[in-house]
A and B are shown apart, each in its own frame.
Chain A
Amino acid sequence: MSCFRLENVSYRYDKSLVLHGIDLRLEPGEILGLFGHNGAGKTTSIKLILGLMQPTQGTVSVLGGHAGDPQVTQHIGYLPENVMFYPQLTGREILSHFARLKGASLRQVPELLEQVGLGDAMDARTKTYSKGMRQRLGLAQALLGKPKLLMLDEPTVGLDPVATADLYRLLRDLRDEGTGIVLCSHVLPGVEPYIDRAAILTEGSLKAAGDLAALRRQANMPVTLSLDPAHSITALEKVIDSAATASGLMIKTGNGRLRVDVQPREKMALLQTVMASGEVADVSIHQPSLEDIYVHFIGSGGLAHRGGSR
């Protein structure tokens, strides 16, 4: 049973097409990163999965049922981007209220608050909470009733680095227990190590989806090799020139190293030639990061894609 499955989903709002032809699925025990610029359709996709809206076209099935059904929503945890909660109530009261609504055990309430690091503040009114504390409370709320599908919109906003690391560790544990997790974030380097798959949205359509290796293959971006010459940098340059590859840019860096951009499929051939020549003392390989891949898929249209029409 998939956590959710979007099949050829389109959504129209006042004649403008917000989403078109989205095919996306999430299996249990998987963390999916959902990326895109503002207005790319991330929130709309999430709302469709939560059953807050109906797609204009296509089918949305969630946890083997229909999106929005009470039996389905009971097993979904959701952290919205910016919740104020009820300022007059304490963290414990708020979480108890939501636990009752979800039909979750009230015993979970102090445990979860402890788990997200609000143990000491659970009996203080939330109007005294900082942004990071509200975020933690939101997270505790999303974890009520052991959800099978967890959707987090910018979960690390307002969290300090330690709390962020704690959060990701927690998500990994949940993933290992079989929870399917969707992570929307703009902090790409932060989430890169933790996601199993990434989906990149632009202007309502899915530009790319898959694990990082697949995305790298699809993007076909050059890999950067950083080479330390064993004897002289010119000798090393010659070796690379003679290697019959269509390797691109070659730059001498200030500290006597050589940086070479190479197409992924030619990387191994070049490496073998260089190794065999004995002209290299050390090699480091830089794969394109999630951020590089994201910019590759999003950035083709210039700034207008990234920040709306300014």
Chain B
Amino acid sequence: MNSIWTIARKELSDSLRNRWLMAISLVFATLALGIAWFGAAASGQVGYASTPATIASLASLGIFLIPLIALLLAYDAIVGEEEGGTLLLLMTYPLSRSQLLLGKFLGHGLTLALATLIGFGVAGIAIALLVEDVAITNLAIAMFRFIASTVLLGWGFIALAYVISVRVSEKPIAAGLALAIWFFFVLIFDLMLLGTLVASEGKFSAELLPWLLMLNPTDIYRLLNIVAFGDTSQLSGVLSLGTDLPIGAAGLWIGLVLWFAIPLAAALLLFRNRRI
């Protein structure tokens, strides 16, 4: 446990040193405040639209940003150590491969969680203080749900980045694959799903189709933050399939947790079999 924390601690202090933590927090806070203040611009006025609309906009932006940040943070976790020659050295220390990877995950995961909490937390507090007649409890619950799901989504992509990082032997390849993963889940997947929907002309099993959304953590994340308000009019495109999903919010939460637990387990397994 001690060595896991030692590794995590180094990652955390690294992200403090290279200003990652600060930069991500700042980006999150700016985005959240910007969306809150100009959320109603589409309807011709400046000001706070509503909590559900704000969260929905934030979530739509989140699916682009969070995976990208998580992948950038973690793609060189193992392959970077190997290129510097420190992986070999670390493995001669009383430290197992699992401990090293879990330590990295703890460090990167905490960095992302802290940045999310600080960035969106500050924005949430600002909204609560500055916007008149906003329902504080509703806002707090929505913000909490948003932050928690954002953290889980980020962890999922950190774990996916590790799967790459333990498999490849060069940093640029890892970076390329990380971008490919981002591209696939954020852009390609929904297009493919939409294409399938249209092409099958309704012949595709109507019960199976909604479950396909569970194959993409960013879709789960969006569903979670929009469906929770009971207002499904915000669901656009393939997400409207989500209304047919026979699982409630708890199922979506479990889906997000599985999306970081399974890739992490896979990364651990692959790392154990890697030749050093």
Contact = CB atoms under 8 A, between A and B. Distances in A.
Interface in B6-44: 6-7, 10, 14, 17-18
Contacts of A73: 92-94
B126 interface: no
A101 B88 contact: no
B95 interface: yes
B86 to A, nearest CB: 6
Interface stretch (A78-86, A158-166, A179-187, A250-258): A78-86
Contacts of A85: 84-86
B84 A98 contact: no
B92 A101 contact: no
Given A52-B92, A73-B92, A97-B6, A83 B86 contact: yes
Given A52-B92, A73-B94, A101 B85 contact: no
A263 interface: no
Interface in B89-129: 89-96
A207 interface: no
A218 B14 CA distance: 55
Contacts of B96: 70
A86 B83 CA distance: 11
B89 A83 contact: yes
Contacts of B89: 78, 80, 83, 141
SS class of chain B's interface: helix, strand, loop or mixed?
helix
A155 to B, nearest CB: 14
Interface in A100-146: 100-103, 141
Contact of A88 (B2, B18, B83, B91): B18
A98 B17 contact: no
Nearest to A100: B6
Contacts of B92: 50-52, 73, 76, 78
Given A97-B6, A101-B3, A84 B93 contact: no
Contacts of A84: 83-86
A85 B80 CA distance: 11
Interface residue range, chain A: 20 to 34
Interface in A66-93: 70-71, 73-74, 76, 78, 80, 82-86, 88
Given A88-B17, A100-B6, A80 B93 contact: no
B94 A101 contact: yes
B247 interface: no
A238 B171 CA distance: 72
Contacts of B130: none
Contacts of A97: 6, 10
A76 B85 CA distance: 18
A97 B95 CA distance: 13
A52 B276 contact: yes
B170 to A, nearest CB: 15
A86 B86 CA distance: 8
B276 to A, nearest CB: 5
Contacts of A76: 92
Contact of B85 (A52, A82, A100): A82
Contact of B93 (A71, A82, A98): A98
Interface in A220-270: none
Contact of B90 (A51, A88, A101): A101
A100 B10 CA distance: 11
Nearest to A50: B92
B6 A83 contact: no
Contact of B94 (A74, A78, A141): A74
Interface string B244-276: 000000000000000000000000000000011
Interface of B: 2-3, 6-7, 10, 14, 17-18, 83-86, 88-96, 275-276
6 contacts: A52-B91, A52-B276, A80-B89, A84-B84, A84-B86, A101-B94
